[in-house]
Structures are given as structure tokens and as C-alpha cells.
Amino acid sequence: MIIAHLLDMDGVLVRGSQPIEGSVDYVAGLVAEGRPFQIFTNNSRFTPEDHAERLKAVGFPVSPEHVYTSALATARFVNLQRPGASAYVIGDHGLVDPLRRAGCRITEFSPDFVILGDTTSYHYEQIATGAELVARGAWFLATNPDVTGPTERGFHPACGAAAALIEKATGRQPYFVGKPNPFMMRSALERLGVSAADTVMVGDRMDTDVIAGLESGMKTALVLTGVSTRADMERFPFRPDHVIERLADLGQIL
């Protein structure tokens, strides 16, 4: 029996700053019924507080505790791997803030890690500095492998695309902490206190959301309001448990 939801945000709940039809009511129903859920996003630009305020502004009855980001997972990963580490960070405050809270020192002088996240203003100088530090031996982490992200205008280059610049320049591949890495999935499930078998992963991308849920033992639902289309599904050797036009249609299935 499905009792918990991991809900991707961009492309499932919202597109840009606008809610997708029916998504507000679906989340309100989860809150009213006391069903455990996490709004589960690879978007590392914003803190959970920022994401919650953004969602509340367009009608979603959520709090920061309902939001789990790839930046939170990255901060947890760094703290487990090397407590008190130092890092050169390319990204917005949504990544910097949880790293600092986890005890990570932000510096460009001989850092342990180069950590890349999402931002709308990647600067060439930062990318070049990150590449130089990785070439010198810093461990290369990235919050997520998404190469594009949905906006009201279409798609824009995201963390995975920027990571490719450093990888090509250095020959060093990043370790992606966010979806589809099972580390992020397990971290969210532990936060909810539920098992994978009792959880459905709902997302708009075959290459991150669906495969992440599948490899973590969850039921999966692909919504067609974001990146992946029915035609795109044919490129992958796996299938979601459910394919729905929008999040609101999931209630009829579950």
C-alpha cells in the first residue's frame, strides 16, 4: 500500500513560477489526510525555506520541512565523507547555506572539494577556477546531473551541463549526489521514516526521477507536464509503473 510520496517539483508541481493545473489540490489533499510526503527536487538554487515560500505564494500549503533538495543531500554527503571539510562552491545560497550549516568551510584556497550546483548566472571565471582546483586534486562533486531545467520560456542549461565543462577541461568526472543517486533517495526516506516499498516517486524525467525510484525499490509515476514525453520513453530500457498526464490524475490510480 502506498502511504508516502516523493514529489518532484519543477515539471510536476510547477512550471517556472506557475502551478500546474490540479497540483495544488493534490498536495492539499496529502496535507489534509496527514500523508507523509517530500517535495523532492534536484534544484539546489534555493533553500527549503525559499522553496516553501515560493510554493506557498502560488497556493501550496507546505512548510520547509516538506522540501528536500539535492543541496541538503550534498551537505549531508560531505559531512559524512569528511566532517569539517572545505569547499569551493559554484552555485547559489541554496547550496552554500546547508554546506555551512553542516560545518563546511567555504574557500577557494586549497579546498577539499569543488562543489557545483544550480544557478542562473554561471560565471566563466568561477568555472575556470573550479576546473583549476579539480586539476590540482580537489574532489569534484555536483548536486545533480540534470543538463536542462524547465522554465516558463522553455528549458535552460542546468548543473549537469555546467559540470561537463569542468569534466572536459580536467578529465575528472564529478560525483553527482542528487537524483538518480540512491543516496539522496535513502536520505529522503529516512527523513520521512518510511520504506521504499510504501512510497511512490512522482517525476517528469525518465533519466532521473523514474530510474531513481526504480533503483530504490519504489513505485514510479511519470507525469507528462515536464521534460519527458511518451516518445522519449522509447529510448529507455525501463518503464515507470504509471504514466499520467498530470499529478492530479494519480489519485484515480492510487
Note if 204 is an active site residue.
no
Query: Contact, 115 vs 95, CB < 8 A?
Result: yes
Strands (E), the chain: 4-7, 14-15, 18-19, 37-41, 67-69, 86-90, 105-106, 113-116, 139-142, 148-151, 154-157, 175-176, 199-203, 219-223, 242-244
Residue 114: phi and psi, rounded to 5, are -110, 120
Q: Cβ(130)–Cβ(104) under 8 Å?
A: no
Considering just the CA atoms, what is the radius of gyration of the chain in Å?
A: 18
Cα 66 from Cα 178, distance rounded (Å): 17
Task: Specify the 3-state DSSP secondary structure of 225.
Answer: coil
48 prior amide bond cis, ω within 30: no
Is 112 among the catalytic positions?
no
Which of 8, 112, 146, 207 is labelled catalytic? 8
Q: How many angstroms separate the CA atoms of 108 and 130, rounded?
A: 9
> CB under 8 Å to 194, separation ≥6 — which residues?
3, 4, 36
Spot the catalytic one: 10, 112, 118, 204: 10
Look-up of cell digits 572536459: 168
Sequence length of the chain is 254
Active site positions, annotated: 8, 10
